[in-house]
């Protein structure tokens, strides 16, 4: 298969929309990131525009807790201070958060739902690509279910238990149903079926850093 290794854009495409502010209080900010926006700045001067820099203009003490890929859209939580950042970071490390994504994938899986338990590691010769490696890879677990079947594709809901780099993208590729518009892992047919990566973080569940409450945030809509 011929994959679209468009890894290092000379000029990054512009964001597909602006940041949507979903919620904020003295401890946290929840945002909906558009596709084609870095979560944090890149190494070169032309890649300084990013989500956290834009958020800092409105919330000067904001601190990044976790990231979404440049091409992935959806919900992120940002800390308002050092203490909240420490608590939220620990939640992600200990897998106390819950994340649900929606994706549009190529073809039709035979089953309606399932689990992908395939260890992943960096493909060092082709960084930042990741690959399945049952000997050297780190544990990666994804639950999936079909939401809607279409003619040549389907909507699936993806719930990762672990948070490996590109986990959902590699798992769907390994399953034989790459995410549409994926410039890293989709074959040409799947890549050409969408004008963006069809992956969106639609729901995020966290424990509030200072209140004894479990909070659920959901995107108002799916942007593809």
The string of pLDDT tens digits covering residues 156-193 is: 999 999 999 999 999 999 999 999 999 999 999 999 99
pLDDT digits (tens, 9 = 90+) for 81-116: 999 999 999 999 999 999 999 999 999 999 999 999
The answer to whether residue 202 sits within a structural domain is yes
What residues act catalytically? 69
The answer to whether residue 11 sits within a structural domain is no
pLDDT at position 4 over 60: no
The answer to whether residue 42 sits within a structural domain is yes
| Tokens found for residue 166 | 């590109």
Alpha-carbon gap, residue 86 to 143, rounded angstroms: 28
The domain in which residue 128 lies consists of 20-218
The answer to whether residue 212 sits within a structural domain is yes
CATH code of residue 41 = 3.30.2350.10
The answer to whether residue 12 sits within a structural domain is no
The answer to whether residue 157 sits within a structural domain is yes
pLDDT at position 6 over 60: no
HSE (CB half, 13 Å, CA atoms) of 146? Answer: 15
pLDDT at position 43 over 90: no
SS3 content of the chain, % helix, strand, coil (to 5): 15, 35, 50
pTM score, whole prediction: 0.93
DSSP letters of 84-120? Answer: HHHHHHHHHHTT-SEEEEEEEEES--SSSEEEEE--E
pLDDT at position 64 over 80: yes
**What is the DSSP pairing of strand 63-64 with strand 141-149?**
unpaired
The answer to whether residue 121 sits within a structural domain is yes
pLDDT digits (tens, 9 = 90+) for 121-140: 999 999 889 999 999 999 99
* CB crowding 28-59: b at 16 or more within 10 Å, else e: bbbbbbbbbbbbeeeeeeeeeebbbebbeeeb
The answer to whether residue 7 sits within a structural domain is no
- The total number of structural domains in the chain stands at 1
């Amino acid at each position: 298969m011929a994959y679209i290794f468009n890894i290092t854009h000379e000029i990054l495409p512009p964001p597909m929309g602006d940041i949507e502010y979903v919620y904020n209080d003295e401890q946290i900010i929840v945002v909906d990131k558009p596709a084609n926006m870095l979560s944090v700045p890149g190494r070169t001067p032309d890649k300084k525009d990013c989500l956290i820099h834009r958020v800092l203009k409105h919330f000067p003490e904001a601190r990044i807790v976790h990231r979404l890929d440049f091409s992935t859209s959806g919900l992120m939580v940002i800390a308002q201070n050092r203490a909240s950042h420490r608590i939220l970071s620990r939640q992600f490390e200990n897998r106390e958060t819950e994340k649900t994504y929606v994706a549009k994938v190529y073809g039709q899986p035979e089953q309606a739902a399932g689990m992908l338990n395939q260890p992943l590691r960096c493909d060092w010769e082709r960084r930042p690509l990741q690959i399945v490696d049952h000997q050297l890879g780190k544990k990666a677990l994804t639950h999936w279910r079909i939401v809607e079947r279409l003619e040549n594709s389907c909507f699936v809901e993806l719930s990762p238990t672990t948070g490996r780099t590109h986990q959902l993208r590699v798992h769907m590729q390994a399953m034989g149903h790459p995410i549409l518009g994926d410039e890293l892992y989709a074959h040409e047919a799947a890549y050409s079926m969408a004008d963006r990566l069809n992956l969106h973080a639609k729901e995020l569940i966290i424990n509030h850093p200072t209140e004894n409450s479990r909070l659920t945030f959901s995107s108002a809509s799916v942007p593809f």
